[in-house]
Structure 1
Amino acid sequence: MTALLAPNRYRAVIFDMDGLLLDTELLWMRSEEAVFRNHGDTFTYEDKLAVVGTPIPVGSRYMAERLGLPEQEAQIEAELLDLMRAELRRQVDARPGALELVERLRGHLPLAVASNSYADIVRLALAAAGIADAFQAVVTADDVRHPKPAPDLYLLACERLGVAPRDALALEDSPSGVAAAKAAGLACIAVPQFAETDVSAADRVIDSLEQLLAEF
């Protein structure tokens, strides 16, 4: 491993949330499947790959168009969010190695979350997982004009942590997240949840956050 990719060279670590830090992509998928069932259709694995990592309005637009209801995009988004909030109130699990990595890093490095989800969804998920107090900064789609794949979320997270992007490490699971981190000037390690997800633009791709526990 080159020095560039060695995790312990960085002054801050910024986590994506859905599918990287928390196992919420599965909760999103349940909610997406329920929306499609409510409208007499089936949400497929290919549909999931099409929306994973995208901003919520983009995913909602895709779903509305797939359902043949482009004029009901706002209603589809509201329905999806209501279902997702209900899922989050039931149970939120962390991705393998995530809680251990956060615990390993907290108190030693500034930590942040940079998520394409809305603030209330992020707060609810982090609280349900018991890690809401682990991060010095939490930035969401509500905080920026252009969410991922634009660099804005990562630039704002670095600003709030007081570190230069070149000194921060992003942990991501989606193509849009990797693109955002790289556009902002961060090094990025990708941990894709779905095997078909193309995260080859990341500086390094690993199978699980557990692999980083021995490196910090």
Structure 2
Amino acid sequence: MSKSSISAVIFDLDGTVIDSKQVIAEAYHAAHAELMGAEAVAPPFSEYCKHLGRSFPQIMKRMGLPLAMHGVFMRESNARMHRIEVFDGIRPLLDSLRAQGIPMAVATGKDHTRTEAILDSLGLIDYFACIVGSDDVENPKPAPDMALMIVQRLGLEPASTLFLGDAVADLLCGQGAGMQTALALWDNPGEEVRGHACDYQLTDPRHVLALLEEPRHADVTPA
């Protein structure tokens, strides 16, 4: 079935726009040590990564860890915010989309306030017409609520909106809202993510621009 042309793009944040995995890992281990004791062995961060895209409380629940880790995690993440970087190719992509008048939004498992603070610190906040954090909806990703909120606020057509993310939760959110979905491969998501159904798999952020010209099949990586 042919795809509609893409007229808007929703971005996940961590692992898609920003390179923050090391900061997340350090904050996770620091929170576990403070709440569970320095001698306690934390579940491996690779287990945490299986749930990326979800909110931190959702991840803690799925891992059987105390929700009280959330406050410490946020404190430790904020202390390391200056170390977060933007992935290569993201700024040129955002510039090109803005020049073409393509509406852009962010839907992230992070809370709204922290998301705005990170985007502002990186000089990215003005690119996005709408920012939705996990605390802005009753049911965060993988439910479609975040994507649907963006659709409503910006007056988008779901079928011609691309949801770009690096986690299964991102793909499910976009699919549940009736959007096209693209898996971002530049932060090396696991095999369980790569094997999930989506419309496109992209190895470079700038490949999104090719989709504006000609929608392609999911197993074709634009070159």
> What band does the TM-score fall into relative to the shorter chain?
0.7 to 0.9
Q: Deviations over 1:129-158 (max 9, x none)?
A: 111111111111122110001000001111
User: Could you say which residue in structure 2 is the equivalent of 1:93?
Assistant: 85
How do 1:184-203 residues align onto structure 2 when only pairs under 5 Å count? Answer: 184-192=177-185, 193=187, 194-199=189-194, 200-203=196-199
Structure 1 runs of 4+ off > 6 angstroms?
Answer: none
TM-fit CA distance, 1:198: 1.5
Question: What is the CA RMSD across the aligned residues, in angstroms?
Answer: 2.0
SS in 2 for 1:138: strand
8 Å CA contact retained: 1:174, 1:197: no
Identity %: 25
Q: Deviations over 1:66-115 (max 9, x none)?
A: 5xxxxxx2421111111111111x23211221111111111421111111
Deviations 1:14-60 (A, max 9, x none): 11111111112332122112223443324524323333222221123
TM superposition shift of 1:62: 4.3
**Residue 70 (structure 1) aligns with:** none
3-state DSSP of counterpart to 1:4: coil
Q: Of Structure 1 and Structure 2, which has the larger fraction of its residues in helix?
A: 1
Instruction: Structure 2: state its 5+ residue gaps.
Output: 213-223
- Aligned residue in 1 for 2:115: 122
Number of aligned residue pairs: give it.
204
Specify the alignment match of 1:69 in structure 2: none
Match of 2:218 in 1: none
TM-score, normalised to structure 2, is 0.83
| Deviation, structure 1 residue 215 | 5.1
Structure 1 gap segments, 5+ residues each: 67-72
For residue 213 of structure 1, report the CA deviation from its aligned partner: 4.5
Distance 2:176 2:210 in 1: 28
8 Å Cα contact 1:189-1:202 kept in structure 2: yes
In structure 2, C-alpha distance between the alignment counterparts of 1:43 and 1:208, rounded to whole Å: 31
| Equivalent position amino acid for 2:87 in 1 | R
State how far apart, in whole Å, the 1-side matches of 2:179 and 2:21 are: 24
